[in-house]
Amino acid sequence: MAGTDRQICCSMTSALLSVVREEGGDAAVGSVLGRAGSNRDLAYLENPDNWISLAEATALLEAGVAESGDEAFARHVGEHTVRRHAGTQVSTILRSLGSTEAVLEQITRTAAKLSAVTDLETLEARPGRAVVRARARPGFERSRLHCDWAAGLMSSATILFGLPLARVSESECQARGDASCLYEVSWDAELAAQAADPQLRVTALEAQMLAMSARLKSCFATAGDLVSAADLRTVLQRIVERAATAVRAPSHVLAVRTGEGAELEVYSHGIDADAGEALVWATLGGSAMSGSALAVDVKSSRRSYGQLIAHYPTSMEFFPQEEELLRLYAQHAAAVLDMATALDESDRRHREVSALHSLALALAEAGTSNEVAERLAASVPEVVDCDRVSVWLWDEVEKRLRLQARAGGFDGSFSHLRDMTISPADTPSLQRMIAAPEPMFFRAGEKDPYIAELMTMLGVIAMVVVPILARGDFLGVLTVSVTAHPKRLDPTRDLLAQLTGVAALAATALKNGQLVDTLEFRANHDGLTGLLNRVGFRQRIDTILAIAESGETRMGLLFVDLNGFKDVNDLYGHDAGDELIREVARRLQATTRAADSIARFGGDEFAIILTEIESRDQVRAAEARVRAVFGEALRLGDVQVRIGASVGSGLFPDDGSTIAALVRHADAAMYVDKAQTRRAHEEQREGQPASVGPAGRARSAARPSSPRSPARPKTPASS
């Protein structure tokens, strides 16, 4: 509630309702509430931890007078207040002062426990007599009923020490137009002295200790309840409410940070959230504030969490015992936060270990380095709180990073990044990373222009780049970034531990992936030329055929068989034959597009898979380019040789609707071409005109530019 609703403590309303109930029962209580126009429930008005406005309190006193017909009703309520709340914490504190005159001497502090609208000053306080002056605080007016209630309260101070009510007279009254209210309080000093007899004092102290013991047990029981609660925020709110019971004040605020770098959380009782937060910042900042505040630290041996504050909107002093009690509840809050922090840390560690274990399993199941990168990018958000992840692998040949995998919003407008590379010449940050591999943290406005432009393009405001190293070898980098809440990537010890743990797992997996890459390459590629072998050819053509079968495009296939390869092998030896095969492979690669694939079937046979074919003319053009490859001599060391080739082609699905059918068609076409070439050579040797093959020119066997006699017969080059 707002501060204007917290002016009179509900100790008064609790005593008022008790007096009404004793005289007229529950019906009278309902009648009083109706006369006063109060909409509050009884539980609120009977709880001394709550507060109401002066206007509402006055209306209830007026209704009580009207209901009872007793003009002294307000005074009776004051007299009944101490009896009604003799076992409360406030009464225990007052009783600990030791005497009636000591209680009245501390009237400023005492009155503040019940009212925030009056300034009280003790002019005289001695055994048997006290004089007290009361003035309404600025903005308030005292009424006759208010004055009568105050007189009743002062008369009941003696009850705390087992004495009859004191006598109170009001010689001046502000409600009647005087500058202040002047109360003269008297009691039987002799009787009070008897009550101060050592034996009686011992008995009183024993009773006091029993009361304090019960209070302490209640406090520990409360602590047990608080610690056992499941929800941390519920526990902290209950601590504020229990503190309000122990230390009487109109408002209480608990302000804590539950974690390192966490936002300040404010829990309040008797004050709205905004006002509570303003009070906290004023207290923490040491700035001026209205009223009086008692603030104690919420801290443990592990760390400091914040403060617990009791606040009065007006100027007053707190008892030392109240500070001790408030500190006790602050310790409760610290203990709860310690436990919650320990549980959170344990839970976080468990999640991290589980996430790293899952990542390790995922990486272990991956085969190639590309699969490792894909699984790494997909799994990192389970370990690190981020929005985007990318994995860049180092290309040792080209000396640059290549984007291998990404996760988290890299599609759509960012799809062009899939083939992106970064070289040390592009950014000094990469140069430093390679020279001294350590995690790098970047924020919006980064000085490195390349990184700044990249972050702007991606829409990220914070990014961490972590090197992936294996025994000193730089394998690549892992980047994690966020598009909002950059504090998630602050360089904390925990974040660094998470990222280095992920990078260590990635390094081992990538090393294994590179080995798998090598083995897979060897299994799918020809060892002599680096082209696809039969296994690789089958895998590649299966993939291309699956796309072609969708009807979006067609596929072409060329079969190439060298003419005269055996002659070269016999004339110049095994090494020359191998070099010829490698040179043919290089020339064939120069005639094809990037999306096309070339395979060597062994010996001198090659196949070329043509993608994205729209017409047979494109296949014929490719066939012509292949034939042209053999128009120039091939250099083999010191000699040059000329060989020809037989070429057959097929078009999917025109020449075959399956791989087997397409292969048979191209193979058959190649043998037709070979047969025609052979006839042409035979006719030339017999002096007859040469027949023309499909390419429009005669074929010739291999013939060296400068003949060389072999020392001995050679075997064909191995495949």
pLDDT digits 0-9 by tens, 153-197: 889 888 878 788 899 999 999 999 999 999 999 988 887 766 555
pLDDT, position 712: 32
Same domain, 333 and 372: no
192 in a domain, yes or no? Answer: no
Residue 536 — φ and ψ, nearest 5°? Answer: -65, -40
pLDDT, position 718: 34
295 in a domain, yes or no? Answer: yes
31 has a pLDDT exceeding 80? yes
Same domain, 119 and 250: no
Adjacent-strand bridge partners of 597: 609
Same domain, 141 and 9: yes
* DSSP-assigned letters across all residues of 224-251: HHHHH-S-HHHHHHHHHHHHHHHS--SE
- Cα 631 off chain centre by: 66
Where residue 280 falls among pLDDT bands split at 50, 70, 90? confident
256 in a domain, yes or no? Answer: yes
What's the domain range around 238?
Answer: 204-343
Residue 60 sits in a domain whose CATH number is 3.90.1520.10
**Which tens digit of pLDDT belongs to each residue from 441-487?**
999 888 899 999 888 888 889 999 999 998 888 999 999 999 988 98
Residue 114 — φ and ψ, nearest 5°? Answer: -120, -25
**Which tens digit of pLDDT belongs to each residue from 62-114?**
999 999 999 999 999 988 887 776 656 666 777 777 788 888 888 777 777 78
Same domain, 677 and 592: yes
Give the CA dihedral 358, 364, 369, 371, nearest 10 degrees. -60
Same domain, 154 and 36: yes
Same domain, 289 and 378: no
How many angstroms separate the CA atoms of 295 and 297, rounded?
7
Same domain, 408 and 542: no
391 contact partners, CB below 8 Å, separation of at least 6: 373, 374, 376, 377, 403, 404, 405, 406, 476, 477, 478, 479, 506
403 in a domain, yes or no? Answer: yes
Give pTM, 2 decimals.
Answer: 0.49
Residue 249 sits in a domain whose CATH number is 3.30.450.40
* DSSP-assigned letters across all residues of 445-471: T-SSHHHHHHHHHHT-SEEEEEEEEET
Q: Which of 480, 512, 544 is the last residue of a domain?
A: 512
Same domain, 373 and 322: no
Structure tokens at 691: 């027949």
How many angstroms separate the CA atoms of 14 and 84, rounded?
8
314 has a pLDDT exceeding 80? no
Distances 75 to 95, 141, 514, 587 between C-alpha atoms, Å:
22, 18, 92, 115
118-126 β-sheet, strand order = 118-126, 129-136, 181-186, 167-172
Same domain, 587 and 689: yes
360 in a domain, yes or no? Answer: no
519 in a domain, yes or no? Answer: no
SS3 208: helix
204 has a pLDDT exceeding 60? no
**Which tens digit of pLDDT belongs to each residue from 386-413?**
999 999 999 988 899 999 888 886 555 5
How many angstroms separate the CA atoms of 192 and 102, rounded?
12
Total domains in the fold of the chain: 4
620 contact partners, CB below 8 Å, separation of at least 6: 649
SS3 86: coil
705-709 long-range contacts, CB within 8 A, separation 24+:
705/633, 705/639, 705/640, 705/641, 705/642, 706/639, 706/640, 708/571, 708/572, 708/639
121 in a domain, yes or no? Answer: yes
Structure tokens at 560: 């190439």
Q: Which of 288, 311, 343 is the last residue of a domain?
A: 343
524 in a domain, yes or no? Answer: no
Same domain, 500 and 591: no
**Which tens digit of pLDDT belongs to each residue from 692-711?**
434 333 334 444 443 333 33
Same domain, 562 and 687: yes
Same domain, 167 and 284: no
How many angstroms separate the CA atoms of 185 and 176, rounded?
20
Residue 615 — φ and ψ, nearest 5°? Answer: -150, 165
Q: Which of 328, 343, 358 is the last residue of a domain?
A: 343
